[in-house]
Amino acid sequence: MGWRLWWWLVALPLAAGHLNVLISQAEVMKLLGLDAELYYVREGVVNTYATGFIVPVPAHIADLEFMWQSLGRKPLPYVMDIDYESRGAMLPPQVNISERGYVPTTLQTFRVRLPCTGSRSAEILVSMQLNISAPDRASRDVRLNFKRNKICLKGLSTVVSHNETARLAGDVTRSSSGVLFAAGGCAAAALALLAAAAAAGTLYRRGNKARHHDSIHTSYTTAAYGSHQNVLLRLDTMGRPPSSTGSYATIASLHKFPFAQVFTTTGSRRSPSPYATTHIGEHVYAKPESRVSYYAASNLTHVSQTNTLKDRITDPAEQLRHLTAPRANIRLEILVHEGTFGRVYKGVFKRGDTYEEVLVKTVSDNASAMQAALLVAEGLRLCGLSHANVLAPAAACAEEARRPLLVYVCASHSSNLKRFLTSCRLGQQAAPATRELVELGAQVACGLSYLHVQRLIHADVAARNCVVDEKLRLKLADNGLSRDLFPEEYHCLGDNENRPVKWMAPETILQCQYTSASDVWSLGVTLWELATLGAPPLAELDAADVGAFLSGGYRPAQPHNCPDELYGLMSWCWTSAAAGRPTAPQLLAALHDFRQALNTYI
Protein backbone atom coordinates (compact mmCIF):
# COMPACT_ATOMS: atom_id res chain seq x y z
CA MET A 1 0.00 0.00 0.00
CA GLY A 2 2.85 2.39 -0.73
CA TRP A 3 5.52 3.69 1.58
CA ARG A 4 4.69 3.59 5.26
CA LEU A 5 5.45 6.58 7.43
CA TRP A 6 7.28 5.41 10.49
CA TRP A 7 10.22 6.77 12.46
CA TRP A 8 11.65 4.34 15.00
CA LEU A 9 14.09 6.92 16.31
CA VAL A 10 11.35 8.88 18.07
CA ALA A 11 9.04 6.09 19.12
CA LEU A 12 8.53 4.89 22.67
CA PRO A 13 8.55 1.08 22.94
CA LEU A 14 5.97 -0.47 25.20
CA ALA A 15 6.10 -4.20 25.74
CA ALA A 16 5.11 -6.89 23.29
CA GLY A 17 3.16 -5.32 20.43
CA HIS A 18 -0.55 -5.31 21.18
CA LEU A 19 -2.11 -2.49 19.14
CA ASN A 20 -2.09 -0.69 15.77
CA VAL A 21 -3.57 2.78 15.21
CA LEU A 22 -3.13 4.43 11.81
CA ILE A 23 -4.70 6.48 9.08
CA SER A 24 -5.00 4.96 5.64
CA GLN A 25 -3.17 5.85 2.48
CA ALA A 26 -6.27 7.59 1.11
CA GLU A 27 -6.68 9.61 4.31
CA VAL A 28 -3.03 10.70 4.30
CA MET A 29 -3.37 11.81 0.69
CA LYS A 30 -6.56 13.70 1.53
CA LEU A 31 -5.05 15.59 4.47
CA LEU A 32 -1.33 15.76 3.77
CA GLY A 33 -0.96 15.18 0.06
CA LEU A 34 1.32 12.17 0.57
CA ASP A 35 1.09 8.69 -0.92
CA ALA A 36 1.63 6.79 2.32
CA GLU A 37 0.12 5.21 5.39
CA LEU A 38 0.71 6.93 8.71
CA TYR A 39 1.02 4.80 11.83
CA TYR A 40 0.37 6.46 15.18
CA VAL A 41 0.87 3.15 17.00
CA ARG A 42 2.52 0.18 15.36
CA GLU A 43 2.63 -3.12 17.21
CA GLY A 44 2.37 -1.30 20.51
CA VAL A 45 5.02 1.33 19.72
CA VAL A 46 3.77 4.92 19.90
CA ASN A 47 4.97 7.33 17.22
CA THR A 48 5.14 10.40 19.46
CA TYR A 49 6.46 12.53 16.63
CA ALA A 50 3.43 11.91 14.44
CA THR A 51 0.95 12.46 17.28
CA GLY A 52 2.62 15.80 18.06
CA PHE A 53 1.48 17.41 14.79
CA ILE A 54 -1.47 19.74 14.58
CA VAL A 55 -2.81 18.59 11.24
CA PRO A 56 -4.86 21.15 9.29
CA VAL A 57 -8.27 20.13 8.00
CA PRO A 58 -9.37 22.31 5.04
CA ALA A 59 -12.83 23.81 4.90
CA HIS A 60 -14.14 21.35 2.32
CA ILE A 61 -13.21 18.29 4.40
CA ALA A 62 -15.56 17.29 7.22
CA ASP A 63 -14.87 13.61 7.92
CA LEU A 64 -11.69 12.17 9.45
CA GLU A 65 -11.04 8.44 9.42
CA PHE A 66 -8.82 6.39 11.73
CA MET A 67 -8.02 2.68 11.60
CA TRP A 68 -7.26 0.53 14.65
CA GLN A 69 -6.83 -3.07 15.70
CA SER A 70 -6.06 -4.99 18.85
CA LEU A 71 -3.34 -7.52 18.01
CA GLY A 72 -4.17 -9.90 20.86
CA ARG A 73 -6.95 -12.41 21.18
CA LYS A 74 -9.11 -10.05 23.17
CA PRO A 75 -10.23 -6.49 22.38
CA LEU A 76 -8.63 -3.72 24.44
CA PRO A 77 -10.74 -1.30 26.53
CA TYR A 78 -10.58 2.35 25.49
CA VAL A 79 -11.93 5.72 26.61
CA MET A 80 -12.29 8.62 24.15
CA ASP A 81 -12.76 12.33 24.81
CA ILE A 82 -12.88 15.30 22.44
CA ASP A 83 -12.05 18.85 23.42
CA TYR A 84 -12.82 21.79 21.15
CA GLU A 85 -13.91 25.40 21.15
CA SER A 86 -16.78 26.05 18.76
CA ARG A 87 -16.76 29.87 18.60
CA GLY A 88 -20.03 29.56 16.71
CA ALA A 89 -18.32 28.12 13.64
CA MET A 90 -18.64 24.41 14.34
CA LEU A 91 -21.21 22.06 15.85
CA PRO A 92 -20.17 19.29 18.27
CA PRO A 93 -18.09 16.60 16.54
CA GLN A 94 -19.88 13.37 15.65
CA VAL A 95 -18.16 10.03 16.21
CA ASN A 96 -19.26 6.55 15.15
CA ILE A 97 -17.84 4.91 18.26
CA SER A 98 -18.96 5.37 21.82
CA GLU A 99 -17.18 7.21 24.61
CA ARG A 100 -16.12 3.87 26.13
CA GLY A 101 -15.72 0.56 24.39
CA TYR A 102 -13.23 -1.95 23.05
CA VAL A 103 -10.66 -1.80 20.27
CA PRO A 104 -11.63 -4.54 17.76
CA THR A 105 -9.41 -7.52 17.03
CA THR A 106 -9.89 -7.03 13.30
CA LEU A 107 -8.73 -3.94 11.43
CA GLN A 108 -11.67 -1.50 11.46
CA THR A 109 -12.27 2.15 10.72
CA PHE A 110 -13.91 4.75 12.92
CA ARG A 111 -14.88 8.21 11.77
CA VAL A 112 -14.96 11.67 13.35
CA ARG A 113 -17.08 14.31 11.66
CA LEU A 114 -16.29 18.01 12.21
CA PRO A 115 -19.40 19.88 10.96
CA CYS A 116 -18.94 23.58 10.16
CA THR A 117 -22.05 25.74 10.48
CA GLY A 118 -21.08 28.15 7.71
CA SER A 119 -22.14 31.07 9.90
CA ARG A 120 -18.63 32.43 10.35
CA SER A 121 -15.00 31.85 9.47
CA ALA A 122 -12.72 30.46 12.17
CA GLU A 123 -9.98 27.97 12.93
CA ILE A 124 -11.01 25.43 15.55
CA LEU A 125 -8.42 23.38 17.45
CA VAL A 126 -9.91 19.93 17.99
CA SER A 127 -8.10 17.65 20.42
CA MET A 128 -9.08 13.97 20.50
CA GLN A 129 -7.81 11.97 23.48
CA LEU A 130 -7.78 8.19 23.23
CA ASN A 131 -6.71 6.12 26.25
CA ILE A 132 -6.30 2.39 25.64
CA SER A 133 -5.73 -0.06 28.48
CA ALA A 134 -2.86 -2.52 28.25
CA PRO A 135 -3.70 -6.24 27.99
CA ASP A 136 -1.64 -7.12 31.08
CA ARG A 137 0.41 -5.61 33.87
CA ALA A 138 3.66 -6.08 31.96
CA SER A 139 2.55 -3.63 29.29
CA ARG A 140 1.84 0.06 29.38
CA ASP A 141 -1.42 1.80 28.69
CA VAL A 142 -1.46 3.80 25.48
CA ARG A 143 -2.44 7.47 25.67
CA LEU A 144 -2.88 9.24 22.35
CA ASN A 145 -3.78 12.84 21.61
CA PHE A 146 -4.69 13.67 18.02
CA LYS A 147 -4.86 17.40 17.23
CA ARG A 148 -6.61 18.78 14.19
CA ASN A 149 -6.92 22.43 13.15
CA LYS A 150 -10.33 22.61 11.48
CA ILE A 151 -10.82 25.53 9.12
CA CYS A 152 -14.41 26.74 8.79
CA LEU A 153 -15.48 29.34 6.26
CA LYS A 154 -18.48 31.61 6.33
CA GLY A 155 -21.02 30.45 3.78
CA LEU A 156 -19.63 26.90 3.57
CA SER A 157 -21.68 24.52 5.73
CA THR A 158 -20.76 20.85 6.15
CA VAL A 159 -23.67 20.02 8.47
CA VAL A 160 -25.75 17.00 7.39
CA SER A 161 -29.39 16.57 8.30
CA HIS A 162 -28.97 12.90 9.13
CA ASN A 163 -26.25 11.22 11.14
CA GLU A 164 -24.32 8.69 9.11
CA THR A 165 -22.02 7.90 12.00
CA ALA A 166 -24.31 5.82 14.16
CA ARG A 167 -22.67 2.38 13.99
CA LEU A 168 -20.62 1.69 17.10
CA ALA A 169 -17.84 -0.37 15.61
CA GLY A 170 -15.80 -0.31 18.77
CA ASP A 171 -18.49 -1.54 21.18
CA VAL A 172 -18.73 -5.20 22.06
CA THR A 173 -21.26 -7.67 23.34
CA ARG A 174 -20.22 -10.69 25.31
CA SER A 175 -21.48 -14.23 24.95
CA SER A 176 -20.50 -17.58 26.37
CA SER A 177 -18.30 -18.17 23.39
CA GLY A 178 -16.20 -15.05 23.97
CA VAL A 179 -16.13 -11.46 22.76
CA LEU A 180 -18.13 -10.55 19.65
CA PHE A 181 -18.44 -7.16 17.93
CA ALA A 182 -21.79 -5.48 17.49
CA ALA A 183 -23.01 -6.03 13.99
CA GLY A 184 -26.12 -5.04 12.02
CA GLY A 185 -29.69 -5.55 13.09
CA CYS A 186 -31.94 -4.10 15.75
CA ALA A 187 -29.53 -4.71 18.64
CA ALA A 188 -26.79 -2.66 17.01
CA ALA A 189 -29.20 0.12 16.14
CA ALA A 190 -30.51 0.32 19.69
CA LEU A 191 -26.99 0.33 21.08
CA ALA A 192 -26.07 3.11 18.66
CA LEU A 193 -28.95 5.29 19.80
CA LEU A 194 -28.12 4.80 23.47
CA ALA A 195 -24.47 5.59 22.91
CA ALA A 196 -25.28 8.63 20.81
CA ALA A 197 -27.50 9.99 23.58
CA ALA A 198 -24.76 9.41 26.13
CA ALA A 199 -22.16 10.98 23.90
CA ALA A 200 -24.24 14.13 23.45
CA GLY A 201 -24.16 14.74 27.17
CA THR A 202 -20.72 13.60 28.23
CA LEU A 203 -18.32 13.10 25.34
CA TYR A 204 -17.38 16.69 24.60
CA ARG A 205 -15.93 19.51 26.65
CA ARG A 206 -15.89 23.03 25.38
CA GLY A 207 -12.76 24.87 26.41
CA ASN A 208 -13.44 28.49 27.27
CA LYS A 209 -9.88 29.28 28.26
CA ALA A 210 -7.49 30.70 25.69
CA ARG A 211 -5.30 28.08 24.05
CA HIS A 212 -1.72 28.58 22.99
CA HIS A 213 -0.90 26.42 20.02
CA ASP A 214 0.79 26.50 16.65
CA SER A 215 -2.00 27.18 14.23
CA ILE A 216 -1.12 25.64 10.91
CA HIS A 217 -2.56 27.56 7.98
CA THR A 218 -1.43 25.09 5.34
CA SER A 219 -2.75 21.79 4.12
CA TYR A 220 0.55 20.54 2.77
CA THR A 221 2.01 19.50 6.15
CA THR A 222 4.35 16.52 5.83
CA ALA A 223 4.77 14.24 8.78
CA ALA A 224 8.29 13.39 7.73
CA TYR A 225 9.61 16.93 7.36
CA GLY A 226 7.81 19.00 9.97
CA SER A 227 9.12 21.73 12.22
CA HIS A 228 9.95 19.65 15.27
CA GLN A 229 12.90 20.19 17.56
CA ASN A 230 13.84 16.54 18.03
CA VAL A 231 13.32 14.97 14.64
CA LEU A 232 16.33 13.78 12.71
CA LEU A 233 16.28 14.72 9.06
CA ARG A 234 18.62 13.59 6.32
CA LEU A 235 20.54 16.52 4.87
CA ASP A 236 22.71 14.86 2.25
CA THR A 237 19.88 13.53 0.11
CA MET A 238 19.35 16.91 -1.43
CA GLY A 239 20.98 16.86 -4.81
CA ARG A 240 22.54 13.43 -4.36
CA PRO A 241 21.44 9.92 -5.18
CA PRO A 242 19.63 8.33 -2.21
CA SER A 243 21.90 6.47 0.17
CA SER A 244 21.50 4.55 3.39
CA THR A 245 23.99 6.69 5.27
CA GLY A 246 24.65 10.38 5.51
CA SER A 247 24.77 13.44 7.69
CA TYR A 248 21.84 14.35 9.88
CA ALA A 249 20.84 17.48 11.67
CA THR A 250 17.85 18.48 13.74
CA ILE A 251 15.88 21.62 13.23
CA ALA A 252 17.25 22.74 16.58
CA SER A 253 20.73 22.71 15.08
CA LEU A 254 19.84 25.59 12.79
CA HIS A 255 20.61 27.92 15.73
CA LYS A 256 17.57 30.10 15.20
CA PHE A 257 17.15 33.06 17.54
CA PRO A 258 13.72 34.62 17.04
CA PHE A 259 13.18 37.89 18.85
CA ALA A 260 10.00 38.68 20.71
CA GLN A 261 9.68 42.36 19.87
CA VAL A 262 10.60 44.36 16.80
CA PHE A 263 11.73 47.95 17.20
CA THR A 264 11.13 50.33 14.32
CA THR A 265 13.28 53.34 13.48
CA THR A 266 10.86 55.52 15.42
CA GLY A 267 11.37 53.46 18.56
CA SER A 268 7.90 51.97 18.57
CA ARG A 269 7.30 48.30 19.26
CA ARG A 270 5.52 45.92 16.98
CA SER A 271 4.57 42.35 17.70
CA PRO A 272 6.19 39.83 15.36
CA SER A 273 4.14 38.00 12.80
CA PRO A 274 3.64 34.22 13.00
CA TYR A 275 6.67 34.03 10.71
CA ALA A 276 8.94 36.31 12.74
CA THR A 277 12.41 36.90 11.39
CA THR A 278 15.20 34.58 12.37
CA HIS A 279 18.91 35.11 12.79
CA ILE A 280 20.84 32.58 10.74
CA GLY A 281 24.52 31.97 11.32
CA GLU A 282 26.44 32.04 8.06
CA HIS A 283 28.12 28.74 8.94
CA VAL A 284 24.88 26.81 8.56
CA TYR A 285 24.08 27.30 4.90
CA ALA A 286 26.35 29.95 3.49
CA LYS A 287 29.09 27.80 1.98
CA PRO A 288 27.85 24.32 1.07
CA GLU A 289 30.87 23.61 -1.14
CA SER A 290 30.04 19.93 -1.56
CA ARG A 291 26.57 20.79 -2.79
CA VAL A 292 27.90 23.47 -5.13
CA SER A 293 30.24 21.02 -6.80
CA TYR A 294 27.47 18.46 -7.19
CA TYR A 295 24.95 20.91 -8.60
CA ALA A 296 27.54 22.40 -10.94
CA ALA A 297 28.01 18.93 -12.41
CA SER A 298 24.30 18.23 -12.67
CA ASN A 299 22.94 17.97 -16.17
CA LEU A 300 20.11 20.27 -15.07
CA THR A 301 22.56 23.15 -14.68
CA HIS A 302 23.80 22.97 -18.23
CA VAL A 303 21.52 25.51 -19.87
CA SER A 304 23.45 25.81 -23.09
CA GLN A 305 24.83 29.22 -23.92
CA THR A 306 24.05 28.45 -27.56
CA ASN A 307 20.40 28.97 -26.68
CA THR A 308 21.03 32.70 -26.34
CA LEU A 309 18.81 34.57 -28.77
CA LYS A 310 21.44 36.51 -30.70
CA ASP A 311 18.90 37.97 -33.12
CA ARG A 312 16.42 39.01 -30.46
CA ILE A 313 15.01 42.49 -30.95
CA THR A 314 15.96 44.75 -28.05
CA ASP A 315 14.86 48.19 -29.27
CA PRO A 316 11.46 48.96 -27.63
CA ALA A 317 10.07 50.67 -30.73
CA GLU A 318 11.03 47.71 -32.91
CA GLN A 319 9.63 45.29 -30.35
CA LEU A 320 6.29 47.10 -30.35
CA ARG A 321 6.14 47.07 -34.14
CA HIS A 322 6.96 43.36 -34.15
CA LEU A 323 4.12 42.59 -31.70
CA THR A 324 1.51 44.98 -33.06
CA ALA A 325 -1.87 43.40 -33.83
CA PRO A 326 -5.17 45.05 -34.83
CA ARG A 327 -7.43 46.04 -31.96
CA ALA A 328 -10.24 44.06 -33.60
CA ASN A 329 -8.26 40.83 -33.07
CA ILE A 330 -8.23 41.26 -29.28
CA ARG A 331 -11.47 40.70 -27.38
CA LEU A 332 -11.70 41.48 -23.65
CA GLU A 333 -14.16 39.22 -21.84
CA ILE A 334 -13.75 38.82 -18.06
CA LEU A 335 -12.10 41.30 -15.69
CA VAL A 336 -10.00 39.17 -13.32
CA HIS A 337 -7.88 41.74 -11.47
CA GLU A 338 -8.17 45.50 -11.09
CA GLY A 339 -6.12 48.13 -9.32
CA THR A 340 -6.24 51.91 -9.19
CA PHE A 341 -5.41 52.25 -12.87
CA GLY A 342 -4.38 48.76 -14.06
CA ARG A 343 -6.62 45.96 -15.25
CA VAL A 344 -6.12 42.31 -16.24
CA TYR A 345 -8.70 40.57 -18.41
CA LYS A 346 -9.29 37.10 -19.70
CA GLY A 347 -10.00 37.30 -23.40
CA VAL A 348 -9.60 35.86 -26.87
CA PHE A 349 -6.91 36.65 -29.44
CA LYS A 350 -7.35 35.95 -33.13
CA ARG A 351 -4.10 34.83 -34.73
CA GLY A 352 -4.68 34.09 -38.39
CA ASP A 353 -7.61 31.72 -38.56
CA THR A 354 -7.25 30.44 -34.96
CA TYR A 355 -8.57 31.82 -31.70
CA GLU A 356 -6.56 31.55 -28.48
CA GLU A 357 -7.47 32.13 -24.85
CA VAL A 358 -5.28 34.91 -23.49
CA LEU A 359 -4.65 37.26 -20.60
CA VAL A 360 -4.66 40.93 -21.51
CA LYS A 361 -3.02 43.69 -19.48
CA THR A 362 -4.23 47.23 -19.94
CA VAL A 363 -5.01 50.41 -18.04
CA SER A 364 -8.23 52.23 -17.21
CA ASP A 365 -9.46 55.37 -18.92
CA ASN A 366 -8.22 57.59 -16.09
CA ALA A 367 -4.62 56.28 -16.24
CA SER A 368 -1.94 58.83 -17.04
CA ALA A 369 0.23 58.72 -20.15
CA MET A 370 3.19 57.84 -17.90
CA GLN A 371 1.36 54.86 -16.42
CA ALA A 372 0.38 53.61 -19.87
CA ALA A 373 3.95 53.98 -21.13
CA LEU A 374 5.30 52.15 -18.06
CA LEU A 375 3.00 49.17 -18.72
CA VAL A 376 4.34 48.86 -22.27
CA ALA A 377 7.98 49.30 -21.23
CA GLU A 378 7.82 46.65 -18.53
CA GLY A 379 5.91 44.22 -20.74
CA LEU A 380 8.33 44.51 -23.64
CA ARG A 381 11.30 43.44 -21.52
CA LEU A 382 10.46 39.79 -22.18
CA CYS A 383 9.57 40.28 -25.82
CA GLY A 384 10.95 37.63 -28.16
CA LEU A 385 11.63 35.02 -25.47
CA SER A 386 10.35 31.47 -25.81
CA HIS A 387 10.40 29.13 -22.83
CA ALA A 388 7.86 26.87 -21.12
CA ASN A 389 8.30 28.76 -17.82
CA VAL A 390 8.41 32.33 -19.14
CA LEU A 391 5.31 34.33 -20.05
CA ALA A 392 6.35 36.64 -22.88
CA PRO A 393 3.93 38.98 -24.67
CA ALA A 394 2.46 37.44 -27.81
CA ALA A 395 0.90 40.61 -29.21
CA ALA A 396 0.38 44.26 -28.43
CA CYS A 397 -1.86 47.04 -29.57
CA ALA A 398 -1.08 50.74 -29.10
CA GLU A 399 -3.72 52.18 -31.40
CA GLU A 400 -4.99 54.08 -28.38
CA ALA A 401 -1.81 55.47 -26.85
CA ARG A 402 -3.47 56.11 -23.50
CA ARG A 403 -4.89 52.59 -23.34
CA PRO A 404 -2.43 50.05 -24.74
CA LEU A 405 -3.11 46.31 -24.71
CA LEU A 406 -0.53 43.59 -24.00
CA VAL A 407 -1.60 40.04 -24.88
CA TYR A 408 -0.23 36.90 -23.19
CA VAL A 409 -1.07 33.39 -24.36
CA CYS A 410 -1.45 30.95 -21.45
CA ALA A 411 -3.42 27.86 -20.59
CA SER A 412 -7.09 27.98 -19.73
CA HIS A 413 -7.94 28.68 -16.08
CA SER A 414 -4.59 30.36 -15.45
CA SER A 415 -4.43 32.64 -12.43
CA ASN A 416 -1.98 34.81 -10.58
CA LEU A 417 0.22 32.65 -8.32
CA LYS A 418 -0.03 35.02 -5.36
CA ARG A 419 -3.82 35.04 -5.46
CA PHE A 420 -3.91 31.27 -5.95
CA LEU A 421 -1.71 30.64 -2.90
CA THR A 422 -3.72 33.05 -0.77
CA SER A 423 -6.99 31.33 -1.64
CA CYS A 424 -5.41 28.01 -0.64
CA ARG A 425 -4.24 29.44 2.68
CA LEU A 426 -7.75 30.68 3.39
CA GLY A 427 -9.17 27.24 2.66
CA GLN A 428 -11.11 28.40 -0.38
CA GLN A 429 -9.58 25.63 -2.47
CA ALA A 430 -7.37 22.63 -1.90
CA ALA A 431 -3.70 23.50 -1.46
CA PRO A 432 -0.92 21.76 -3.41
CA ALA A 433 1.00 18.99 -1.68
CA THR A 434 4.56 19.66 -0.53
CA ARG A 435 6.13 18.03 -3.54
CA GLU A 436 3.90 20.13 -5.81
CA LEU A 437 4.97 23.32 -4.05
CA VAL A 438 8.60 22.30 -4.53
CA GLU A 439 7.86 21.63 -8.19
CA LEU A 440 6.36 25.13 -8.52
CA GLY A 441 9.56 26.56 -7.06
CA ALA A 442 11.60 24.54 -9.54
CA GLN A 443 9.57 25.98 -12.40
CA VAL A 444 10.30 29.53 -11.21
CA ALA A 445 14.00 28.62 -11.03
CA CYS A 446 13.84 27.12 -14.52
CA GLY A 447 12.29 30.26 -15.99
CA LEU A 448 14.79 32.47 -14.18
CA SER A 449 17.68 30.29 -15.41
CA TYR A 450 16.51 30.90 -18.96
CA LEU A 451 16.35 34.67 -18.42
CA HIS A 452 19.87 34.72 -17.02
CA VAL A 453 21.16 32.77 -20.01
CA GLN A 454 19.59 35.49 -22.15
CA ARG A 455 21.52 37.99 -20.00
CA LEU A 456 18.34 39.45 -18.57
CA ILE A 457 17.86 40.44 -14.93
CA HIS A 458 14.24 40.16 -13.86
CA ALA A 459 14.59 42.46 -10.81
CA ASP A 460 11.16 41.55 -9.35
CA VAL A 461 10.92 37.78 -8.88
CA ALA A 462 7.88 37.09 -6.68
CA ALA A 463 4.70 35.03 -6.58
CA ARG A 464 2.70 38.05 -7.77
CA ASN A 465 4.69 37.99 -11.02
CA CYS A 466 3.93 34.37 -11.87
CA VAL A 467 0.88 32.72 -13.38
CA VAL A 468 -0.16 29.13 -12.78
CA ASP A 469 -2.78 26.99 -14.47
CA GLU A 470 -5.04 24.25 -13.12
CA LYS A 471 -2.36 21.63 -13.82
CA LEU A 472 0.15 23.65 -11.75
CA ARG A 473 2.18 24.65 -14.79
CA LEU A 474 3.90 27.92 -13.95
CA LYS A 475 5.22 30.82 -15.99
CA LEU A 476 7.39 33.68 -14.76
CA ALA A 477 5.96 36.97 -16.05
CA ASP A 478 7.01 40.61 -16.18
CA ASN A 479 6.10 42.99 -13.37
CA GLY A 480 3.85 45.21 -15.46
CA LEU A 481 1.00 46.57 -13.28
CA SER A 482 2.30 44.77 -10.14
CA ARG A 483 2.85 48.04 -8.28
CA ASP A 484 -0.77 48.92 -8.89
CA LEU A 485 -2.36 45.50 -8.43
CA PHE A 486 -0.32 44.62 -5.29
CA PRO A 487 0.40 48.04 -3.72
CA GLU A 488 0.92 46.58 -0.24
CA GLU A 489 4.05 44.79 -1.46
CA TYR A 490 5.85 47.90 -2.74
CA HIS A 491 7.35 50.69 -0.66
CA CYS A 492 9.18 53.97 -1.12
CA LEU A 493 12.51 54.47 0.62
CA GLY A 494 12.77 58.24 0.76
CA ASP A 495 12.05 58.78 -2.93
CA ASN A 496 9.15 58.47 -5.34
CA GLU A 497 9.97 54.97 -6.59
CA ASN A 498 7.98 52.02 -5.29
CA ARG A 499 10.19 48.98 -4.78
CA PRO A 500 9.51 45.40 -3.59
CA VAL A 501 11.73 46.02 -0.58
CA LYS A 502 10.94 42.81 1.28
CA TRP A 503 11.94 40.71 -1.73
CA MET A 504 15.19 42.60 -2.37
CA ALA A 505 18.75 41.60 -1.52
CA PRO A 506 20.70 43.82 0.91
CA GLU A 507 22.98 45.14 -1.85
CA THR A 508 19.91 46.06 -3.91
CA ILE A 509 18.31 47.95 -1.03
CA LEU A 510 21.47 49.72 0.06
CA GLN A 511 23.43 50.16 -3.19
CA CYS A 512 20.75 49.65 -5.91
CA GLN A 513 22.72 46.73 -7.37
CA TYR A 514 20.61 44.44 -9.55
CA THR A 515 22.37 41.23 -10.59
CA SER A 516 21.59 37.57 -11.20
CA ALA A 517 22.53 37.02 -7.55
CA SER A 518 19.94 39.56 -6.38
CA ASP A 519 17.38 37.73 -8.54
CA VAL A 520 18.28 34.52 -6.71
CA TRP A 521 17.73 36.26 -3.36
CA SER A 522 14.23 37.19 -4.53
CA LEU A 523 13.72 33.61 -5.69
CA GLY A 524 14.47 32.48 -2.12
CA VAL A 525 11.71 34.78 -0.86
CA THR A 526 9.40 33.35 -3.53
CA LEU A 527 10.12 29.84 -2.19
CA TRP A 528 9.15 31.17 1.25
CA GLU A 529 5.89 32.46 -0.24
CA LEU A 530 5.21 28.99 -1.61
CA ALA A 531 5.92 27.35 1.75
CA THR A 532 3.53 29.74 3.56
CA LEU A 533 0.88 29.73 0.82
CA GLY A 534 1.35 33.37 0.00
CA ALA A 535 1.92 34.92 3.44
CA PRO A 536 3.67 38.34 3.31
CA PRO A 537 7.39 38.06 4.14
CA LEU A 538 8.89 40.16 6.95
CA ALA A 539 5.41 41.37 7.84
CA GLU A 540 6.60 42.46 11.29
CA LEU A 541 9.12 44.96 9.85
CA ASP A 542 8.71 48.44 8.49
CA ALA A 543 10.11 48.74 4.98
CA ALA A 544 12.65 51.31 6.20
CA ASP A 545 14.07 48.76 8.67
CA VAL A 546 14.51 45.87 6.24
CA GLY A 547 17.97 46.78 4.95
CA ALA A 548 19.44 47.06 8.45
CA PHE A 549 17.87 43.83 9.64
CA LEU A 550 19.07 41.87 6.63
CA SER A 551 22.56 43.28 7.03
CA GLY A 552 22.41 42.21 10.67
CA GLY A 553 21.87 38.58 9.64
CA TYR A 554 18.11 38.32 10.15
CA ARG A 555 16.01 36.44 7.63
CA PRO A 556 12.39 35.28 7.25
CA ALA A 557 11.90 32.45 9.73
CA GLN A 558 11.36 28.82 8.82
CA PRO A 559 7.62 28.43 8.17
CA HIS A 560 5.57 25.95 10.17
CA ASN A 561 6.18 22.43 8.87
CA CYS A 562 8.49 23.61 6.10
CA PRO A 563 11.02 20.86 5.32
CA ASP A 564 14.53 21.57 6.55
CA GLU A 565 15.88 20.95 3.08
CA LEU A 566 13.61 23.56 1.53
CA TYR A 567 14.40 26.12 4.20
CA GLY A 568 18.07 25.32 3.72
CA LEU A 569 17.76 26.26 0.06
CA MET A 570 16.00 29.51 0.97
CA SER A 571 18.78 30.33 3.41
CA TRP A 572 21.38 29.56 0.76
CA CYS A 573 19.67 32.10 -1.51
CA TRP A 574 19.87 34.60 1.37
CA THR A 575 23.63 34.39 1.86
CA SER A 576 24.92 37.88 2.63
CA ALA A 577 27.74 37.70 0.08
CA ALA A 578 26.29 37.61 -3.43
CA ALA A 579 29.08 35.29 -4.58
CA GLY A 580 28.03 32.72 -1.97
CA ARG A 581 24.52 32.30 -3.36
CA PRO A 582 23.61 29.53 -5.78
CA THR A 583 23.03 30.30 -9.41
CA ALA A 584 19.50 29.81 -10.70
CA PRO A 585 20.48 26.57 -12.51
CA GLN A 586 22.11 25.22 -9.34
CA LEU A 587 18.99 26.01 -7.37
CA LEU A 588 16.90 24.36 -10.06
CA ALA A 589 18.96 21.17 -9.72
CA ALA A 590 18.63 21.25 -5.93
CA LEU A 591 14.86 21.68 -6.05
CA HIS A 592 14.52 18.93 -8.63
CA ASP A 593 16.50 16.48 -6.54
CA PHE A 594 14.72 17.44 -3.33
CA ARG A 595 11.40 16.76 -5.01
CA GLN A 596 12.70 13.32 -5.94
CA ALA A 597 13.87 12.80 -2.35
CA LEU A 598 10.39 13.62 -1.04
CA ASN A 599 8.99 10.72 -3.03
CA THR A 600 11.89 8.44 -2.05
CA TYR A 601 11.95 8.96 1.70
CA ILE A 602 8.28 9.29 2.53
| pLDDT tens for each residue of 430-444 | 999 999 999 999 999
Residue 84, φ and ψ in degrees, nearest 5 = -160, 170
Per-residue pLDDT at 517 exceeds 70: yes
- Rounded Cα distance between 488 and 16, Å, is 59
The pLDDT of residue 43 is 84
Q: What pLDDT score was predicted for residue 546? A: 93
Assess contact for 122 and 86: CB atoms under 8 A: no
User: What pLDDT score was predicted for residue 171?
Assistant: 33
Average pLDDT over residues 378-395: 93
* Nearest one of 337, 359, 361 to 348, comparing CA atoms: 359
How many degrees, rounded to 5, is the angle at CA 96 between CA 91 and CA 98? 100
pLDDT tens, position by position, 450-481? 999 999 999 999 999 999 999 999 999 999 89
Q: Which range has highest mean pLDDT (107-111, 220-224, 255-259)?
A: 107-111
Query: What angle is formed at CA 261 by the lines to CA 255 and CA 267, rounded to 5 degrees?
Result: 130
- % of the chain surpassing 70 pLDDT: 71
Which letter does DSSP use for residue 259 in this model? Answer: -
Q: Is 332 within 8 Å of 359 (Cβ atoms)?
A: no
3-state secondary structure string, 539-566?
Answer: CCCCHHHHHHHHHCCEECCCCCCCCHHH
CB atoms within 10 A of CB 237: 20
Q: Stretch 543-565: mean pLDDT, rounded?
A: 89
Q: Which residues are catalytic?
A: 460
pLDDT of the residue at 307 = 54
Whole-number Å distance between alpha carbons of 582 and 577: 11
pLDDT for 310-352, tens place per residue? Answer: 678 888 888 888 999 999 999 999 999 999 999 999 999 999 8
In the sheet that holds 395-397, the strands lie side by side as 330-338, 342-351, 354-363, 405-409, 395-397
Instruction: Report the pLDDT value the prediction gives residue 309, as an integer from 0 to 100.
Output: 67
DSSP annotation of 272 reads P
Q: Which of 253-267, 355-369, 404-418, 461-475 has the lowest mean pLDDT?
A: 253-267
Domains of the chain, first to last: 3-206 (2.60.40.2170), 281-302+442-601 (1.10.510.10), 316-409 (3.30.200.20)
The chain-wide mean pLDDT, for the chain, equals: 75
Q: To which H or E segment does residue 95 belong? A: strand 94-95
